[in-house]
Amino acid sequence: MTHSIFHNIPLELTHPPSEIKDRILIKLHKHVITIWSRCTLTEYGTDIPPLNGSTSIRGMKKFLQCIDNEPWISEVYQTSASISILLRDFQEGKALAVSDGSFYEEFKVGAAAWKIQSNNRLEFISGGRIIPGHPDAQSSFRSELGGLVGIGMVAMALATSTASSPILDLGCDGASALLRYNLPSLKVSCSMKDYNIISILSKIWDKSTAKVNAIEVRGHQDDLGRALTVMETMNVDMDNMAKTIALDAITKERKIPSAIKSHRNMQVLIIENRTIHSQLRKTIYTAITTQNLRQYMVKEQLLRQADLRTISWIAFEHAKSKVLPKMQIFITKVLSNTLPVGLVMTKRQHRWSSKYPRCSQMGESTGHICWDKGASNTWEANMIILSTWMNKVHTEPSLALAITDILRMWQKRPSHVQSTLEATAIPSQIEGLLQQDDIGWMQFIQGFLHEDLVLVQSNYYKEIHSQKTGKRWATNLIKKLWEVMHSMWKHRNDILHESDIINTLSGQDFLEISIQHELDRGRENLRSLFTPYFLIPLAVLLAKTSPKNQRKWFLLIKSARERKGTDIQDEFSTNNTLRKWIGLKTTHS
């Protein structure tokens, strides 16, 4: 603390003072000021150093990384010993640029490479890198766009540092990516696929003084044995470079950044550690509703939390999108446990008994339509169809056999499934089948396949050099399993609705007893209008009248008695399910 005292007579300054040293706080007395707190700046923050455009590759790299704050553009830089001819050609619009992307679908890794070279092919600048983003968001389109951004940034840097505005010939073998390379910013929207890279491209070309003459180059022409054009040669080089970068990342298992760090891109969102940069509104909506649905499945114990990570959701989603709306609705009902089986119908008060129509076992559940012992023949017929189909699509033979054997055993004796599995499966598949067993075979029928099973089939297709994919196999298998389930459901419905069982389950026995009681009572104090109804003999009413007409007869008499207040207390007086079936008004109790 200082002990200096200052006059309290201020003098206004026309310019900010230059001799400032410390920040202080003062105490004001009548005519004087004293300093009571003081602090000197001891640690300066880092001022951004002034940056100049440079023609050297090091300077340009720094230029790209600092001025434009786009450090993600390239990880690998290569350049010729000198770039003076390249710069001259660039200024004169004679330089050539090519970019290419490479995408490994299996590993979900994409990389891009780009090159700008002088007209005499001697001088060049090239670069490339892995494309950031969630593995599921990677695609060849995204990789191509990544390469175009590399070219765009370098072209902008060269144009800035040479103070020129040339037209650059730009070659790319991705026609769809070329359509997006310099969209006016007004046309860029977050409903586009990979809108974050497209928005960067748009800003780059908006700002850049260089312009582009886009040329679609034919890719992979090196196998044809003909002389290649300059652009085609550059494309082959860049294709190889992008592949090298991607394979390097795959073999070294490098961590791929989940998002692009750029000040130019349209903002992205992160859902469950996954960056969303395509079709934003639709993706947000789908992600939220899907997440809620899966959590509900876990809550209702259809699946376990751990299963959510191991199920092949892609196969499930493909299958659901490929089937007819009728099947889509059926599967939704199965999964949500709202299929009108006995338990559901009694809960909704639409049926008196929850018995299964064939075996008369109480508590018919969704699973029961498959487990029914009386439906073994139908199940067996379905298994034969399934087995034939699996052979047709070249399913790994022992896997096909194991699946049908397990499903046969699951239908007969679910408790014996594990022993069947161990007896049938060969060692290379047992792990996958055990994993599926862990998820459940009812879940298997419902379309929840473990990813390991898909992998087993995928590897088999590779072994036999087939062009088919495990994902497609899984999709079709799910569709077949749903057909099996639907066929069992139809079989059950045929039994229920093509006989009188539905009436029995709805309360026909009670109806007959009540009809007998009403006939025994006679008309009593009901109006004479009802006399003909009581003249019908009991035998005719019960044996020769259809159940529907029996219900109508009873509805008439019962409601008339209720209006008169002379009805007798029976099952139809209190049970709402029976009352609904007859057509009587339900009671609140």
Partner 1 sequence: MQEALNEWVNWMEVTGGAIAPHKSWWYLVDYKWKRGKWICTNAGANLSLTAKDDTGEKSTLQYLNNDVASKMLGIYMTPDSNNITQIQHMRKQATDWASKLSCSSISKSEAWTALHCTIPMKLKYPGPACTLTKAQCQFVMAPVNKIGLTRSGISSTLPSAFRVGPIISGGAGVLDLYTDTRSGTLTYLIDQIWHQTSSGSLANGIRENLVIEAGVTGLIWDYEFSLLKQWIVTDTLLLHTWEFAFNAGLHLDIHHAQIHLSRQFDAPLMITFAKMRQGRDMRALNKVRLYHDVTTIADISTADGTQIDPTFLSSGQSTSRRNDFKWPEKHEIKPADLALWRKAIKSLCALQLHLSVPLERWKTRQSDWTLNWNWFSSTTADKIFHQNKDGIWTDYAIKEGR
Q: Which of residues 173-192 bind partner 1 (CB under 8 A)?
A: 185-186, 188-191
Triad 92, 95, 99: Cα angle to 5°: 145
Question: Which of 300/422 has CB closer to partner 1?
Answer: 300
Q: Judged by CB, which is closer to partner 1: 84, or 338?
A: 338
Rule CB under 8 A: which of 197-226 touch partner 1?
199
Q: What's the rounded Cα separation, in Å, for the pair 530 and 73? A: 91
Q: Does 50 bind partner 1 (CB under 8 A)?
A: no
Task: Give 457-466 contacts, CB < 8 A, sequence gap 24+.
Answer: 457/395, 457/396, 457/399, 460/394, 460/395, 460/396, 460/399, 461/394, 464/394, 466/394
Closest CB to partner 1 among residues 40, 569? 40
Q: What six digits make up the tokens of 459?
A: 């590897």
Q: Taking the complex as a whole, how short is the minimal distance between the CB of residue 374 and partner 1, in angstroms?
A: 27
Measured distance CA(146)–CA(128) in Å, rounded: 9
Q: Contact 29/40 with Cβ under 8 angstroms?
A: no
Residue 227 lies near partner 1 (rule: CB under 8 A): no
Written as six digits, the tokens of 367 are 């699973």
CA–CA gap between residue 471 and residue 312 (Å, rounded): 9
Under the binding rule (CB under 8 A), the answer on residue 45 touching partner 1 is yes
Q: Does 24 bind partner 1 (CB under 8 A)?
A: yes
Task: Tell which one of 247, 256, 259, 359 touches partner 1 (CB under 8 A).
Answer: 259
Site stretch for partner 1 (CB under 8 A), options 19-27, 60-68, 69-77, 409-417? 19-27
Question: Going residue by residue from 296 to 335, which x/- string records binding to partner 1, judged by CB under 8 A?
Answer: xx---------------x--xxx-xx---xx-xx-xxx-x
Q: Are 485 and 446 in contact (CB under 8 A)?
A: yes
Q: Applying CB under 8 A, does 338 fall inside the site for partner 1?
A: yes
Binding part of the chain for partner 1, among 45-53, 128-136, 403-411, 577-585 by CB under 8 A, reads 45-53
**Of 136, 251, 255, 267, the one binding partner 1 by CB under 8 A:** 267
Regarding beta strands 76-79 and 124-130, do their DSSP bridges make them parallel or antiparallel, or are they unpaired?
A: antiparallel
Q: How far is CA 367 from the centre of its chain?
A: 27
Query: With b meaning 16 or more CB within 10 Å and e meaning fewer, what string describes 192-207?
Result: bbbbbbbbbbbbbbee
Region of 266-274, 459-467, 561-569, 579-587 interacting with partner 1 (CB under 8 A): 266-274
Interatomic CA distance for residues 399 and 390, integer angstroms: 9
Q: 44 or 392, CB closer to partner 1? A: 44
Tell whether residue 32 is a contact of partner 1 (CB under 8 A).
Answer: yes
Q: Closest separation between CB of residue 551 and partner 1, Å? A: 23
**Which one of 218, 285, 391, 516 is in contact with partner 1 (CB under 8 A)?**
285
Asked if 364 and 434 count as a contact pair (C-beta separation under 8 A), the reply is no
Residue closer to partner 1, measured from CB, 217 or 280: 280
Nearer to partner 1, 191 or 466 (CB): 191
Task: Decide if residue 266 touches partner 1 (CB under 8 A).
Answer: yes
Q: Is 438 in the site for partner 1 (CB under 8 A)?
A: no
Question: Which residue, 284 or 306, is less far from partner 1 as judged by CB?
Answer: 284
Give the one residue of 84, 291, 376, 546 binding partner 1; rule: CB under 8 A.
Answer: 291
CB 2 to partner 1: min, Å: 7
Long-range own/partner contacts, residues 578-582 (CB < 8 A, 24 or more apart): 578/352, 578/506, 578/507, 578/510, 580/349, 580/350, 581/350, 581/351, 581/352, 581/506, 581/507, 581/551, 582/511, 582/551, 582/554, 582/555, 582/558
CB of 489 to partner 1, least distance (A): 13
Nearer residue to partner 1 within complex by CB, 229 or 295: 295
280 binds partner 1 (CB under 8 A): yes
- Is residue 51 a contact point for partner 1 (CB under 8 A)? no
H or E element at residue 231: helix 230-251
> How would you class 551 by CB atoms within 10 Å of its CB: exposed for 0-12, middle for 13-18, buried for 19 or more?
buried
Ordered DSSP codes for 312-360: -HHHHHHHHHHS-HHHHHHHHHHHTT-S--HHHHHHTTS-S----TTT-
From 432, 398, 402, 397, select the one nearest 417 (Cα to Cα).
Answer: 402
Q: How far is the CB of 568 from partner 1 (least distance, A)?
A: 34
Q: In angstroms, what is the minimal distance from the CB of 409 to partner 1?
A: 27
Please state, as a whole number, how many other Cβ atoms lie within 10 Å of the Cβ of residue 147: 31
Decide: is 252 part of the binding site for partner 1 (CB under 8 A): no
Q: Does 288 bind partner 1 (CB under 8 A)?
A: yes
Q: For 99-118, b where at least 16 C-beta lie within 10 A, e where not — what string?
A: bbbbbbeeebbbbbbbbbbb
Please give the size of the binding site for partner 1, defined by CB under 8 A: 87
Residue nearer to partner 1 on the CB measure, 287 or 560: 287
Rule CB under 8 A: is residue 275 a binding residue for partner 1? yes
- 25 touches partner 1 by CB under 8 A: yes
Return the amino acid letter for 261. Answer: K
**CB of 215 or CB of 287, closer to partner 1:** 287
586 binds partner 1 (CB under 8 A): no
Q: Is 500 in the site for partner 1 (CB under 8 A)?
A: no
**Three-state DSSP class for 445?**
helix
To partner 1, the closest distance from the beta carbon of 345 in angstroms equals 11
268 binds partner 1 (CB under 8 A): yes
Of 66, 269, 426, 568, the one binding partner 1 (CB under 8 A) is 269
Q: How many residues does the chain have?
A: 589
Q: Does 348 bind partner 1 (CB under 8 A)?
A: yes
Extract the tokens encoding 135: 């593995």
